[in-house]
Structure 1
Amino acid sequence: MNFRNLSDLNQTILKGIHMIPRDFDLIVGVPRSGMLPANLLALYLNLPYTDLHSFINGHIYKAGERGQYFDIKQFKKVLVVDDSVSSGSAMKKCKASLVDLESQFNLEYAAIYVLPGKQNTVDYSFETVGIPRYFQWNIFNHSTLDKACFDIDGVLCVDPTPEQNDDGPKYREFLLNATPLYIPKAKIGALVTSRLEKYREETEIWLKNNGVKYDKLVMLDLPNAKARQRANNHGGHKAKEYKDTYYNLFFESELHQAIEINRITQKPVFCTQNFQMIFDSQSLAYNIKSGKYFPFLRKIALKVRDKIRG
């Protein structure tokens, strides 16, 4: 699996920005994922920018204003930016939407990440990245969430406070009215939670009310919170469902549990505590005693490994 976070995106743009000619007049982002790299490029190149639909309608963004109409003579050369190219169909649709403007502008296209063999679909590409791949900025809208497991508290909704977590009426009130956090639009494969089985009804009501679509809900079959505390096996419970199934990603809220799930399953885990992907070797970069996570150590370890293999 290939994963890129916001820092990776920024560094990739900075490393490749030299390839972009300095005679562009405007940067145009392809909604939604292309808006972030387009904005970064516009900031670094000190150029105005806008989104694809606003550009078609003659609008640009201006500091301190929602937007303004532009004189078509103001811009000649325009760079249209998306975050990635996979099959190339999305970029093809983008180009088709701009056909009527080709006589008025010199349009060129860029993508930050492209699949191997798809470099010729754009004029500028920054990095070749194979699949499967996930990006931090749109991971909750990925097309394969039906093959993923999700924790609930700390992912789909906030965690209960100590006062709410009374295994009684206050906790039931929390379950029914918890504040949503990250709600995917696509269907989730399995919800795997340490919530007790006796709270299934309340959990299902909240999921329905908040538009969460899923195939399966796996809960902890223990009598009460004290038994759950004695068992102290949250990571093991979640890993059991994830390990021997076709699921290829787990979304976990708590870093220590994410490390544990990864250790048991040897499968990647995305942690919402720090929005980082935990891979097989990353457990070596986590200090259990201090509770600190050092993702840069993994990058160093991978470089050493590649040199040895090379």
Structure 2
Amino acid sequence: MKKLILLATLSLSTAFAQATVPAGSNPYLGANITRTYSLDDLMNRPGLITLGKGDMLILDLPSDVTAIVTPQAAMMDIPEPLGNVVVLTGKVSTGKAQLFVQLENGKFAPFLVTFTPGGNGMKRIRILDEPRIDYAQPIPAPTPQVTTMPAYTAPVGAAPIFTPSTASAKPAVTTPDRQQIQGVLAPVTALPASVPTLTRAQPTWLQLTPYLSSEQRAEVLTLKVSNGGARPLVFSGRDVVVTVDGRQVLVTMAQEVRVQPGETQMVDMVLTDRVEPGAKVNLDWLAFDAGANAYYRVAARSF
């Protein structure tokens, strides 16, 4: 009888021990080392990380790294980035450091590093470039889509405004039609399903400066476009919308403009309506980045 009770007790103990083991666990894997950040959060608030002496930190970023800046380089070992991955090793056991990581897509990720005596082993910081939704804010009603504008016709007897050379014209870049572009220029929350999803806000390295000068036949709008990014950008007259005092104005351009990285170009646009002094002129334009398969929304307001 005692043997039966003992065997029953051992069986129950074994079954309980098996039930407490997590399903799918692997005895050859350590604890989870990954922590996730939002890139939008990091651009406004630095990430707080702890790095022990001799410990390793892996930064897994959403775009290739173009620069790493820190005033406390002697406190960390930072080898050359491996594409979008940065590896840090702590060299001190106390103190603090600032770390700034610039990305190829124009965004950045700052961190505040606190050093400890060590023993934390390895950490992986994963940064996601995904838009955040503020559920506390009301969602605006969809904006009606703007219809296709008619083609511009020059006045009879007027000399052509632009006479581009066919030999010097650059090959056209395939872009969506104007109806799609008008949808992209609407608020992001009101985009229809047919609009390309890779549409991003204006980065800090892309600048648009307008100059307005009066001509006899029409108003010529001259724009200075500065591309401080890592890839060329293409600007097309089909991708621009100009409004004067809330009224949309037709625009003509000689040809598509390609602005190389680190380059600044002057671009002329012809407005079919004369702009009176003091008028409120707004411009919305899409810059196409073929390397990132994305559009950047750039704007100039009330100039």
Q: Greater helix share, 1 or 2?
A: 1
Q: Greater strand share, 1 or 2?
A: 2
Please, what TM-score do these two structures have when normalized by structure 2?
A: 0.30
Give the number of the structure whose alpha-carbon radius of gyration is greater.
Answer: 2
